[in-house]
Amino acid sequence: MSERVPILQIGDVLLVSIQTDLDDQAVLYLQDDLAARVVDSEAHGVVIDITAVEIVDSFVGRMLATIASISRMLDAETVVVGMRPAVAITLVELGLSLGGVRTALTLEKGLRLLERARETSTGDAPASRPW
């Protein structure tokens, strides 16, 4: 049985940290779980932390793009954080430039980016910064 990737919540942002190689079933679970959580929590952002990912292939690249597309449809923006230089090079070589996906170097920067995007789009300042 495939492992389920845990989804954490920080304020109104959902955080997914990819720690291990995911098989097809685990990716499908993650997409389902995340879509459900975005709707339940009314999250405005999703951060996918790939710091632990050293090697990326087209399967993982497509997963990132798919998760970002699903989240966008549910009104949440996705930021991929912790991308290693070699991973960026591989994704470009694979022709997967992750068009609609924003990136940030660190988790903290990713959270700030989502916070700013929200302020710009809603005009609201968040009530508090939980980080």
> E-strand spans in the chain?
7-10, 13-17, 45-49, 77-81, 102-104
CA 107, CA 91: separation in Å to the nearest integer?
20
Stretch that binds a second copy, among 4-12, 15-23, 119-127 (CB under 8 A): 119-127
Q: Are 16 and 5 in contact (CB under 8 A)?
A: yes
Instruction: Examine residue 66 and tell whether it contacts a second copy (CB under 8 A).
Output: yes
Residue 9, beta-bridge partner list: 14
Q: Which is nearer to a second copy, 10 or 74 (CB)?
A: 74
Stretch that binds a second copy, among 7-15, 18-26, 94-102 (CB under 8 A): 94-102
Q: Rule CB under 8 A: which residues touch a second copy?
A: 31-32, 35-36, 38-39, 42, 66, 69-70, 72-75, 83-86, 88-89, 91-92, 97-98, 102-105, 109, 112, 116, 121-123
